[in-house]
A and B are shown apart, each in its own frame.
Chain A
Amino acid sequence: MASQYSREVAHRVFAQEFRDSDLSFKDSNDQYSPQYLLTPTGAKINRMFIVGTLTEKEDIGTDAEYWRARVVDPTGAFIIYAGQYQPEAARAIAEMEAPAYIAIVGKPSTFQTEDGTVLTSVRPESVHVVDEATRERWVVETTQRTMERINNLNSNNPDAVKAMEHYNTDVSVYKQMLVDALKESTQD
Protein backbone atom coordinates (compact mmCIF):
# COMPACT_ATOMS: atom_id res chain seq x y z
CA MET A 1 0.00 0.00 0.00
CA ALA A 2 2.90 2.31 0.73
CA SER A 3 3.78 2.44 -2.94
CA GLN A 4 0.42 3.96 -3.78
CA TYR A 5 -0.31 7.63 -3.56
CA SER A 6 -2.15 8.28 -0.37
CA ARG A 7 -3.96 11.44 0.53
CA GLU A 8 -2.59 13.44 3.45
CA VAL A 9 -4.73 13.34 6.57
CA ALA A 10 -6.26 16.64 7.68
CA HIS A 11 -4.80 17.15 11.17
CA ARG A 12 -6.63 18.86 14.01
CA VAL A 13 -4.64 21.48 15.91
CA PHE A 14 -5.63 24.51 17.92
CA ALA A 15 -4.56 28.00 16.91
CA GLN A 16 -2.20 28.37 19.87
CA GLU A 17 -0.24 25.27 18.97
CA PHE A 18 -0.25 26.20 15.28
CA ARG A 19 1.12 29.65 16.09
CA ASP A 20 3.88 28.08 18.25
CA SER A 21 5.03 25.91 15.32
CA ASP A 22 8.10 26.89 13.31
CA LEU A 23 9.66 23.68 12.03
CA SER A 24 8.91 23.23 8.38
CA PHE A 25 10.57 20.59 6.17
CA LYS A 26 10.30 18.01 3.40
CA ASP A 27 10.94 14.29 3.72
CA SER A 28 13.07 14.19 0.58
CA ASN A 29 14.74 16.54 -1.87
CA ASP A 30 12.34 15.66 -4.63
CA GLN A 31 10.60 18.83 -5.76
CA TYR A 32 7.21 17.11 -5.63
CA SER A 33 7.66 15.78 -2.12
CA PRO A 34 5.17 17.39 0.25
CA GLN A 35 6.02 20.18 2.66
CA TYR A 36 5.29 19.51 6.33
CA LEU A 37 4.97 21.61 9.43
CA LEU A 38 5.78 19.88 12.70
CA THR A 39 3.92 21.18 15.74
CA PRO A 40 5.09 21.14 19.40
CA THR A 41 2.96 18.07 20.19
CA GLY A 42 4.27 16.20 17.16
CA ALA A 43 1.56 16.64 14.52
CA LYS A 44 3.27 16.45 11.12
CA ILE A 45 0.96 18.55 9.04
CA ASN A 46 0.57 18.83 5.32
CA ARG A 47 -3.18 19.32 5.53
CA MET A 48 -5.40 20.55 8.35
CA PHE A 49 -9.03 20.96 9.24
CA ILE A 50 -10.17 23.97 11.25
CA VAL A 51 -13.53 25.17 12.49
CA GLY A 52 -13.76 28.62 14.04
CA THR A 53 -15.34 32.02 13.93
CA LEU A 54 -14.57 34.26 11.00
CA THR A 55 -14.02 37.60 12.72
CA GLU A 56 -12.35 39.74 10.06
CA LYS A 57 -11.79 39.56 6.35
CA GLU A 58 -10.06 41.94 4.00
CA ASP A 59 -9.15 41.96 0.33
CA ILE A 60 -5.49 42.97 0.42
CA GLY A 61 -4.82 42.25 -3.26
CA THR A 62 -3.70 44.97 -5.59
CA ASP A 63 -4.63 43.66 -9.05
CA ALA A 64 -6.38 40.40 -8.36
CA GLU A 65 -8.40 39.61 -5.27
CA TYR A 66 -6.30 38.36 -2.39
CA TRP A 67 -8.18 37.63 0.80
CA ARG A 68 -6.83 37.65 4.32
CA ALA A 69 -9.16 36.32 6.98
CA ARG A 70 -8.95 35.79 10.70
CA VAL A 71 -10.52 32.66 12.13
CA VAL A 72 -10.74 32.37 15.88
CA ASP A 73 -10.89 29.24 18.03
CA PRO A 74 -10.92 29.09 21.87
CA THR A 75 -7.10 29.35 22.01
CA GLY A 76 -6.30 32.06 19.47
CA ALA A 77 -6.53 32.98 15.79
CA PHE A 78 -5.59 31.37 12.49
CA ILE A 79 -4.63 33.64 9.62
CA ILE A 80 -6.00 32.52 6.27
CA TYR A 81 -4.77 33.70 2.86
CA ALA A 82 -6.67 32.90 -0.33
CA GLY A 83 -5.91 34.28 -3.78
CA GLN A 84 -6.14 33.33 -7.43
CA TYR A 85 -4.63 29.89 -6.82
CA GLN A 86 -7.40 29.04 -4.34
CA PRO A 87 -10.30 30.22 -6.51
CA GLU A 88 -13.06 28.26 -4.74
CA ALA A 89 -11.94 29.31 -1.28
CA ALA A 90 -11.37 32.93 -2.31
CA ARG A 91 -14.85 33.15 -3.82
CA ALA A 92 -16.37 31.60 -0.70
CA ILE A 93 -14.61 34.07 1.60
CA ALA A 94 -15.64 36.98 -0.62
CA GLU A 95 -19.27 35.99 -0.23
CA MET A 96 -19.15 35.48 3.55
CA GLU A 97 -20.01 37.93 6.24
CA ALA A 98 -18.21 38.09 9.57
CA PRO A 99 -18.92 36.93 12.16
CA ALA A 100 -19.76 33.38 11.09
CA TYR A 101 -18.75 29.85 12.01
CA ILE A 102 -16.68 28.45 9.17
CA ALA A 103 -14.91 25.18 8.40
CA ILE A 104 -11.64 25.19 6.49
CA VAL A 105 -9.63 22.41 4.87
CA GLY A 106 -6.22 23.75 3.96
CA LYS A 107 -2.45 23.56 3.89
CA PRO A 108 -0.14 25.10 6.45
CA SER A 109 2.26 27.73 5.23
CA THR A 110 5.10 29.56 6.95
CA PHE A 111 6.78 32.91 6.48
CA GLN A 112 9.98 34.05 8.11
CA THR A 113 10.28 37.74 9.03
CA GLU A 114 13.55 39.69 8.94
CA ASP A 115 14.13 39.20 12.65
CA GLY A 116 13.76 35.44 12.23
CA THR A 117 10.26 34.99 13.62
CA VAL A 118 8.25 32.34 11.82
CA LEU A 119 4.63 33.23 11.11
CA THR A 120 2.18 30.48 10.27
CA SER A 121 -0.88 30.80 8.09
CA VAL A 122 -3.29 28.57 6.21
CA ARG A 123 -3.88 28.29 2.45
CA PRO A 124 -7.43 27.00 2.18
CA GLU A 125 -8.59 24.31 -0.26
CA SER A 126 -12.19 24.80 0.76
CA VAL A 127 -14.10 27.14 3.07
CA HIS A 128 -17.70 26.63 4.12
CA VAL A 129 -20.15 28.11 6.58
CA VAL A 130 -21.11 25.62 9.31
CA ASP A 131 -23.28 25.60 12.42
CA GLU A 132 -22.42 25.87 16.09
CA ALA A 133 -22.71 22.13 16.68
CA THR A 134 -19.96 21.51 14.13
CA ARG A 135 -17.74 24.05 15.85
CA GLU A 136 -18.33 22.41 19.21
CA ARG A 137 -17.60 18.97 17.83
CA TRP A 138 -14.37 20.26 16.30
CA VAL A 139 -13.21 21.66 19.64
CA VAL A 140 -13.85 18.34 21.38
CA GLU A 141 -12.26 16.34 18.57
CA THR A 142 -9.22 18.62 18.44
CA THR A 143 -8.86 18.25 22.19
CA GLN A 144 -8.92 14.46 21.84
CA ARG A 145 -6.40 14.39 19.00
CA THR A 146 -4.08 16.81 20.79
CA MET A 147 -4.29 14.77 23.97
CA GLU A 148 -3.41 11.62 22.03
CA ARG A 149 -0.35 13.38 20.65
CA ILE A 150 0.66 14.66 24.08
CA ASN A 151 0.37 11.14 25.52
CA ASN A 152 2.52 9.92 22.66
CA LEU A 153 5.24 12.58 23.03
CA ASN A 154 7.61 10.46 25.08
CA SER A 155 7.32 7.43 22.80
CA ASN A 156 9.87 6.66 20.11
CA ASN A 157 7.52 7.74 17.33
CA PRO A 158 9.82 9.71 14.97
CA ASP A 159 7.53 12.76 14.86
CA ALA A 160 7.31 12.86 18.66
CA VAL A 161 11.09 12.52 19.02
CA LYS A 162 11.67 15.28 16.50
CA ALA A 163 9.12 17.56 18.19
CA MET A 164 10.69 17.07 21.62
CA GLU A 165 14.18 17.72 20.22
CA HIS A 166 13.16 20.91 18.45
CA TYR A 167 10.61 22.44 20.83
CA ASN A 168 11.47 20.81 24.16
CA THR A 169 7.71 20.89 24.58
CA ASP A 170 6.31 21.88 27.96
CA VAL A 171 3.36 19.49 28.09
CA SER A 172 1.63 21.31 30.95
CA VAL A 173 1.14 24.41 28.79
CA TYR A 174 -0.75 22.46 26.15
CA LYS A 175 -2.72 20.45 28.68
CA GLN A 176 -3.90 23.71 30.23
CA MET A 177 -4.77 24.98 26.75
CA LEU A 178 -6.99 21.94 26.22
CA VAL A 179 -8.75 22.32 29.55
CA ASP A 180 -9.45 26.01 28.86
CA ALA A 181 -10.61 25.33 25.33
CA LEU A 182 -12.99 22.61 26.39
CA LYS A 183 -14.45 24.65 29.26
CA GLU A 184 -14.85 27.76 27.18
CA SER A 185 -16.56 26.06 24.26
CA THR A 186 -18.97 23.90 26.20
CA GLN A 187 -20.25 26.43 28.73
CA ASP A 188 -23.66 27.82 27.90
Chain B
Amino acid sequence: MIKETAKQIEERFSQIGFNIPISEIESRLDKLVNEFKVPPEEARRSVVNYFLKEYNIPRGDFYIQQGEVPTIKVSDITTEGKWINISAKVVQLWDNTHESIDQVGLIGDETGTIKFNKWAKAELPPLEEGKSYQFKNVVTDSYQERFQINFNRTSQIEEIQEDIEIGTQEVEFSGVMVDIQAGSGLIKRCTECNRALIKGVCGEHGKVEGTYDLRIKAVIDDGVSVQDALINREVTEQLTGITLDDAKQMATKELDQEVVLIKIKEGLLGKYYSIKGPRLDRYILVEQISPIPPMEADKVDALLTQLEA
Protein backbone atom coordinates (compact mmCIF):
# COMPACT_ATOMS: atom_id res chain seq x y z
CA MET B 1 0.00 0.00 0.00
CA ILE B 2 2.64 2.51 1.08
CA LYS B 3 5.08 1.22 -1.54
CA GLU B 4 2.49 1.74 -4.24
CA THR B 5 1.62 5.26 -3.18
CA ALA B 6 5.30 6.12 -2.92
CA LYS B 7 5.88 4.84 -6.42
CA GLN B 8 3.02 6.93 -7.79
CA ILE B 9 4.36 10.04 -6.12
CA GLU B 10 7.89 9.36 -7.34
CA GLU B 11 6.67 8.86 -10.91
CA ARG B 12 4.65 12.03 -10.90
CA PHE B 13 7.62 14.07 -9.67
CA SER B 14 9.92 12.57 -12.25
CA GLN B 15 7.38 13.42 -14.98
CA ILE B 16 7.74 17.08 -14.13
CA GLY B 17 11.52 16.76 -13.92
CA PHE B 18 12.33 16.15 -10.26
CA ASN B 19 14.01 12.98 -9.16
CA ILE B 20 13.28 12.28 -5.55
CA PRO B 21 14.62 9.10 -3.99
CA ILE B 22 11.72 6.72 -3.52
CA SER B 23 13.10 5.55 -0.18
CA GLU B 24 12.74 9.06 1.18
CA ILE B 25 9.11 9.26 0.04
CA GLU B 26 8.40 5.83 1.46
CA SER B 27 9.88 6.53 4.85
CA ARG B 28 7.91 9.75 5.21
CA LEU B 29 4.69 7.99 4.26
CA ASP B 30 5.41 5.11 6.56
CA LYS B 31 6.05 7.41 9.48
CA LEU B 32 2.76 9.23 9.03
CA VAL B 33 0.61 6.19 8.37
CA ASN B 34 2.07 3.66 10.76
CA GLU B 35 3.52 5.74 13.51
CA PHE B 36 1.11 8.70 13.65
CA LYS B 37 -2.03 6.93 12.36
CA VAL B 38 -2.68 9.44 9.62
CA PRO B 39 -5.17 8.17 7.00
CA PRO B 40 -3.40 7.18 3.73
CA GLU B 41 -4.94 9.93 1.58
CA GLU B 42 -4.01 12.59 4.09
CA ALA B 43 -0.50 11.18 4.38
CA ARG B 44 -0.08 11.27 0.62
CA ARG B 45 -1.16 14.86 0.49
CA SER B 46 1.13 15.84 3.30
CA VAL B 47 4.18 14.11 1.76
CA VAL B 48 3.55 15.65 -1.64
CA ASN B 49 3.21 19.08 -0.09
CA TYR B 50 6.46 18.59 1.78
CA PHE B 51 8.43 17.90 -1.40
CA LEU B 52 6.71 20.67 -3.34
CA LYS B 53 7.92 23.11 -0.72
CA GLU B 54 11.31 21.53 -0.41
CA TYR B 55 12.03 21.77 -4.15
CA ASN B 56 10.09 24.98 -4.65
CA ILE B 57 7.71 23.46 -7.20
CA PRO B 58 4.50 25.36 -7.98
CA ARG B 59 1.56 23.26 -6.78
CA GLY B 60 -0.15 23.57 -10.14
CA ASP B 61 2.71 21.81 -11.91
CA PHE B 62 2.25 18.72 -9.82
CA TYR B 63 -1.52 18.58 -9.81
CA ILE B 64 -2.12 19.46 -13.44
CA GLN B 65 -3.65 16.48 -15.17
CA GLN B 66 -1.67 14.97 -17.97
CA GLY B 67 -3.24 14.55 -21.38
CA GLU B 68 -6.40 13.19 -19.84
CA VAL B 69 -8.26 16.49 -19.83
CA PRO B 70 -11.25 16.04 -22.15
CA THR B 71 -12.44 18.71 -24.56
CA ILE B 72 -16.16 19.13 -24.06
CA LYS B 73 -19.13 21.38 -24.80
CA VAL B 74 -21.06 23.56 -22.37
CA SER B 75 -24.05 21.24 -22.29
CA ASP B 76 -21.78 18.33 -21.25
CA ILE B 77 -21.00 19.99 -17.93
CA THR B 78 -22.97 17.99 -15.42
CA THR B 79 -20.59 17.53 -12.52
CA GLU B 80 -18.35 19.78 -10.47
CA GLY B 81 -14.65 19.37 -9.92
CA LYS B 82 -13.84 18.15 -13.44
CA TRP B 83 -10.87 19.40 -15.41
CA ILE B 84 -11.77 20.21 -18.98
CA ASN B 85 -10.75 22.01 -22.15
CA ILE B 86 -13.40 24.06 -23.84
CA SER B 87 -13.71 26.47 -26.76
CA ALA B 88 -16.19 29.24 -26.17
CA LYS B 89 -17.07 32.83 -26.84
CA VAL B 90 -17.29 35.48 -24.14
CA VAL B 91 -20.93 36.50 -24.20
CA GLN B 92 -20.93 38.95 -21.33
CA LEU B 93 -18.54 40.35 -18.78
CA TRP B 94 -20.16 41.24 -15.48
CA ASP B 95 -19.14 43.74 -12.85
CA ASN B 96 -16.95 41.81 -10.57
CA THR B 97 -17.84 41.90 -6.96
CA HIS B 98 -14.77 40.62 -5.20
CA GLU B 99 -11.09 41.48 -5.25
CA SER B 100 -10.10 37.82 -5.56
CA ILE B 101 -11.91 37.71 -8.89
CA ASP B 102 -10.26 39.20 -11.95
CA GLN B 103 -13.09 38.75 -14.43
CA VAL B 104 -16.50 37.14 -14.23
CA GLY B 105 -19.20 36.67 -16.84
CA LEU B 106 -20.79 34.34 -19.29
CA ILE B 107 -19.18 32.20 -21.97
CA GLY B 108 -20.98 30.01 -24.43
CA ASP B 109 -20.80 27.66 -27.38
CA GLU B 110 -23.41 26.21 -29.70
CA THR B 111 -24.83 24.06 -26.90
CA GLY B 112 -25.49 26.78 -24.34
CA THR B 113 -23.93 29.30 -21.97
CA ILE B 114 -22.27 29.03 -18.56
CA LYS B 115 -20.86 31.38 -15.97
CA PHE B 116 -17.09 31.67 -15.65
CA ASN B 117 -14.90 32.92 -12.88
CA LYS B 118 -11.33 34.06 -13.57
CA TRP B 119 -9.39 34.29 -10.33
CA ALA B 120 -7.12 37.29 -9.84
CA LYS B 121 -4.36 34.98 -8.63
CA ALA B 122 -4.52 33.07 -11.91
CA GLU B 123 -2.80 35.99 -13.68
CA LEU B 124 -4.39 35.15 -17.01
CA PRO B 125 -4.73 37.52 -19.97
CA PRO B 126 -7.85 39.73 -20.01
CA LEU B 127 -10.87 38.46 -21.94
CA GLU B 128 -12.92 40.63 -24.26
CA GLU B 129 -16.62 40.41 -24.90
CA GLY B 130 -17.52 38.92 -28.27
CA LYS B 131 -14.18 37.17 -28.78
CA SER B 132 -13.74 33.41 -28.90
CA TYR B 133 -11.08 31.56 -26.96
CA GLN B 134 -9.78 28.13 -26.26
CA PHE B 135 -9.70 27.52 -22.52
CA LYS B 136 -7.35 24.76 -21.44
CA ASN B 137 -7.26 23.01 -18.12
CA VAL B 138 -10.15 24.82 -16.52
CA VAL B 139 -12.25 23.29 -13.79
CA THR B 140 -15.99 22.92 -13.41
CA ASP B 141 -17.58 24.03 -10.18
CA SER B 142 -20.99 24.72 -8.80
CA TYR B 143 -22.16 27.77 -6.94
CA GLN B 144 -25.66 28.29 -5.58
CA GLU B 145 -26.84 25.12 -7.31
CA ARG B 146 -25.66 26.18 -10.77
CA PHE B 147 -22.63 25.03 -12.70
CA GLN B 148 -19.80 27.36 -13.59
CA ILE B 149 -16.23 27.14 -14.84
CA ASN B 150 -13.23 28.46 -12.92
CA PHE B 151 -10.00 29.60 -14.57
CA ASN B 152 -7.03 29.19 -12.25
CA ARG B 153 -3.24 29.36 -12.25
CA THR B 154 -2.83 26.16 -14.20
CA SER B 155 -5.28 27.21 -16.90
CA GLN B 156 -4.28 28.52 -20.30
CA ILE B 157 -6.28 30.82 -22.50
CA GLU B 158 -5.69 31.36 -26.21
CA GLU B 159 -7.72 33.57 -28.47
CA ILE B 160 -9.00 31.76 -31.56
CA GLN B 161 -10.07 33.16 -34.91
CA GLU B 162 -13.20 31.05 -35.22
CA ASP B 163 -16.34 32.94 -34.29
CA ILE B 164 -18.27 30.54 -32.09
CA GLU B 165 -22.00 30.78 -32.42
CA ILE B 166 -23.96 30.83 -29.21
CA GLY B 167 -26.72 28.28 -29.10
CA THR B 168 -29.46 27.73 -26.64
CA GLN B 169 -31.03 24.55 -25.49
CA GLU B 170 -34.60 24.55 -26.68
CA VAL B 171 -37.08 22.75 -24.53
CA GLU B 172 -40.70 21.88 -24.96
CA PHE B 173 -43.40 21.45 -22.36
CA SER B 174 -47.10 20.72 -22.60
CA GLY B 175 -49.77 21.08 -19.98
CA VAL B 176 -52.47 23.26 -18.53
CA MET B 177 -51.93 26.92 -17.78
CA VAL B 178 -52.88 26.75 -14.10
CA ASP B 179 -51.72 30.17 -12.99
CA ILE B 180 -50.68 33.59 -14.22
CA GLN B 181 -48.56 35.34 -11.64
CA ALA B 182 -48.40 38.88 -10.32
CA GLY B 183 -46.30 41.12 -12.54
CA SER B 184 -48.07 39.88 -15.66
CA GLY B 185 -50.19 41.85 -18.11
CA LEU B 186 -49.52 45.52 -18.64
CA ILE B 187 -46.40 46.40 -16.69
CA LYS B 188 -43.88 49.22 -16.55
CA ARG B 189 -40.15 48.80 -16.93
CA CYS B 190 -37.31 50.98 -15.73
CA THR B 191 -35.90 53.08 -18.57
CA GLU B 192 -32.39 52.66 -17.16
CA CYS B 193 -32.15 48.95 -16.56
CA ASN B 194 -35.30 47.45 -18.10
CA ARG B 195 -36.32 45.86 -14.82
CA ALA B 196 -40.04 45.47 -14.17
CA LEU B 197 -41.25 48.15 -11.76
CA ILE B 198 -43.18 47.19 -8.68
CA LYS B 199 -45.72 49.91 -7.85
CA GLY B 200 -43.71 52.35 -9.95
CA VAL B 201 -40.46 51.60 -8.13
CA CYS B 202 -37.35 50.03 -9.65
CA GLY B 203 -35.33 47.78 -7.37
CA GLU B 204 -32.15 49.52 -8.50
CA HIS B 205 -33.12 53.08 -9.46
CA GLY B 206 -36.03 53.84 -7.13
CA LYS B 207 -39.09 55.73 -8.27
CA VAL B 208 -38.96 56.23 -12.03
CA GLU B 209 -41.44 57.03 -14.78
CA GLY B 210 -40.81 53.83 -16.76
CA THR B 211 -42.11 52.57 -20.07
CA TYR B 212 -45.02 50.22 -20.70
CA ASP B 213 -44.57 46.60 -21.66
CA LEU B 214 -46.77 43.53 -21.95
CA ARG B 215 -45.77 40.11 -20.67
CA ILE B 216 -47.07 36.96 -19.00
CA LYS B 217 -45.47 34.94 -16.22
CA ALA B 218 -47.34 31.68 -16.55
CA VAL B 219 -47.31 28.36 -14.74
CA ILE B 220 -47.85 25.28 -16.91
CA ASP B 221 -48.69 22.01 -15.19
CA ASP B 222 -48.97 18.52 -16.69
CA GLY B 223 -50.12 16.76 -13.53
CA VAL B 224 -46.62 15.42 -12.87
CA SER B 225 -44.46 18.53 -12.84
CA VAL B 226 -44.74 22.29 -12.90
CA GLN B 227 -43.02 24.59 -15.39
CA ASP B 228 -42.67 28.37 -15.15
CA ALA B 229 -42.87 30.24 -18.43
CA LEU B 230 -42.05 33.82 -19.42
CA ILE B 231 -43.99 35.11 -22.40
CA ASN B 232 -42.68 38.34 -23.90
CA ARG B 233 -44.64 41.13 -25.54
CA GLU B 234 -44.51 39.82 -29.08
CA VAL B 235 -45.71 36.34 -28.17
CA THR B 236 -48.28 37.72 -25.71
CA GLU B 237 -49.75 39.93 -28.42
CA GLN B 238 -50.04 36.97 -30.79
CA LEU B 239 -51.50 34.69 -28.15
CA THR B 240 -54.07 37.04 -26.65
CA GLY B 241 -54.82 39.26 -29.63
CA ILE B 242 -54.25 42.21 -27.30
CA THR B 243 -51.52 44.58 -28.50
CA LEU B 244 -49.56 46.86 -26.20
CA ASP B 245 -51.59 49.81 -27.56
CA ASP B 246 -54.88 47.97 -26.91
CA ALA B 247 -53.68 47.23 -23.39
CA LYS B 248 -52.80 50.87 -22.72
CA GLN B 249 -56.20 51.97 -23.99
CA MET B 250 -57.98 49.40 -21.85
CA ALA B 251 -56.07 50.57 -18.79
CA THR B 252 -56.69 54.24 -19.52
CA LYS B 253 -60.41 53.66 -20.04
CA GLU B 254 -60.82 51.74 -16.79
CA LEU B 255 -58.21 53.80 -14.92
CA ASP B 256 -56.71 50.48 -13.88
CA GLN B 257 -53.78 48.45 -15.18
CA GLU B 258 -55.26 45.27 -13.68
CA VAL B 259 -58.05 45.00 -16.28
CA VAL B 260 -55.51 43.77 -18.80
CA LEU B 261 -54.37 40.99 -16.49
CA ILE B 262 -57.96 39.94 -15.76
CA LYS B 263 -58.72 39.81 -19.48
CA ILE B 264 -55.60 37.73 -20.16
CA LYS B 265 -56.42 35.31 -17.34
CA GLU B 266 -59.96 34.82 -18.66
CA GLY B 267 -58.61 33.89 -22.05
CA LEU B 268 -55.83 31.51 -21.07
CA LEU B 269 -56.27 29.88 -17.66
CA GLY B 270 -57.48 26.29 -17.50
CA LYS B 271 -56.53 25.58 -21.11
CA TYR B 272 -53.94 23.21 -22.55
CA TYR B 273 -50.87 24.63 -24.26
CA SER B 274 -47.64 23.43 -25.71
CA ILE B 275 -44.68 25.80 -25.26
CA LYS B 276 -41.20 25.89 -26.74
CA GLY B 277 -38.12 28.00 -26.12
CA PRO B 278 -34.75 28.24 -24.38
CA ARG B 279 -34.49 27.54 -20.68
CA LEU B 280 -33.28 30.22 -18.28
CA ASP B 281 -33.14 29.32 -14.61
CA ARG B 282 -36.52 27.88 -13.74
CA TYR B 283 -38.20 29.54 -16.69
CA ILE B 284 -38.77 28.66 -20.30
CA LEU B 285 -38.51 31.84 -22.37
CA VAL B 286 -41.44 31.14 -24.62
CA GLU B 287 -40.82 31.63 -28.33
CA GLN B 288 -43.72 29.48 -29.46
CA ILE B 289 -46.98 28.70 -27.73
CA SER B 290 -49.93 26.89 -29.23
CA PRO B 291 -53.13 25.31 -27.97
CA ILE B 292 -52.85 21.53 -27.91
CA PRO B 293 -54.95 20.09 -30.73
CA PRO B 294 -57.90 17.81 -29.87
CA MET B 295 -57.16 14.22 -28.87
CA GLU B 296 -56.86 11.86 -31.77
CA ALA B 297 -59.37 9.02 -31.70
CA ASP B 298 -56.77 6.31 -32.32
CA LYS B 299 -54.74 7.42 -29.32
CA VAL B 300 -57.81 7.15 -27.13
CA ASP B 301 -58.54 3.72 -28.58
CA ALA B 302 -54.98 2.63 -27.83
CA LEU B 303 -55.41 3.76 -24.25
CA LEU B 304 -58.66 1.82 -23.96
CA THR B 305 -57.05 -1.33 -25.28
CA GLN B 306 -54.25 -0.92 -22.76
CA LEU B 307 -56.76 -0.50 -19.95
CA GLU B 308 -58.88 -3.47 -20.87
CA ALA B 309 -55.87 -5.75 -21.26
Contact = CB atoms under 8 A, between A and B. Distances in A.
A128 B271 CA distance: 9
A134 B221 contact: no
A77 interface: no
Interface string B295-309: 101011001101110
A127 B270 CA distance: 8
A130 B219 CA distance: 18
A49 B308 CA distance: 26
Contact of A137 (B145, B224, B295, B307): B295
B69 interface: no
Contact of A182 (B179, B224, B272, B300): B300
Given A9-B225, A126-B265, A134-B270, A140 B179 contact: no
A60 interface: no
A49 B223 contact: yes
Contacts, number: 87
Interface residues of A, number: 37
- B270, B297, B299, B307 — most chain A CB neighbours (10 Å): B270
Interface size class of B (residues with CB under 8 A): 20 to 34
A117 interface: no
Interface in A80-111: 102-105
A47 B176 CA distance: 13
Nearest to A131: B271
Interface string B280-307: 0000000000001011010110011011
Contacts of A143: 303, 307
B226 interface: yes
A12 B222 CA distance: 9
Nearest to A176: B307
Q: In the complex, which of the residues B265, B272, B297 has the most CB atoms of chain A within 10 Å of its own CB atom?
A: B272
Given A49-B221, A140-B295, A10 B178 contact: yes
B270 A103 contact: yes
B223 A105 contact: no
B266 interface: yes
A8 to B, nearest CB: 8
Contacts of A127: 270
Interface in A147-165: 147
Interface of A: 1, 6-12, 47, 49, 51, 102-105, 125-128, 130, 133-134, 136-137, 140-145, 147, 175, 178-179, 182-183, 186
